[in-house]
């Protein structure tokens, strides 16, 4: 886990953890997540939830 965080910080990138095959969006954050990571994950989850909602209406 720590090596992933080290790479993220040194390369200035984000690593995303998600669970596929579920009815609703689920994403994972590590305990060491930065505020930026949390906000980004919330935004992605909101987009995913909207996609699920739109697909159900179609």
| The total number of structural domains that make up the chain | 1
Is 57 a residue whose pLDDT tops 90?
yes
Q: What's this model's pTM, rounded to 2 decimal places?
A: 0.61
pLDDT at residue 5, rounded to an integer: 61
pLDDT at residue 50, rounded to an integer: 92
Please, where are the H alpha helices in 1-58? Answer: 2-11, 35-57
Q: Is the dihedral of CA 16, 9, 30, 39 positive or negative?
A: negative
Which range marks the domain in which residue 10 is found?
A: 2-57
pLDDT single digits (tens) 2-55: 555 666 566 666 655 656 677 777 787 878 888 888 898 899 889 988 998 999
Sort strands 17-18 and 27-28 into parallel, antiparallel or unpaired. Answer: antiparallel
Could you give the CA distance from residue 33 to residue 15 in angstroms, rounded to a whole number? Answer: 10
């Amino acid at each position: 886990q720590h090596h992933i965080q080290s790479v993220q910080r040194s390369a200035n990138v984000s690593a995303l953890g998600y669970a596929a095959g579920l009815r609703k969006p689920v994403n994972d954050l590590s305990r060491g997540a930065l505020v930026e990571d949390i906000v980004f994950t919330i935004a992605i989850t909101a987009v995913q939830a909207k996609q699920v909602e739109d697909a159900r209406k179609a």
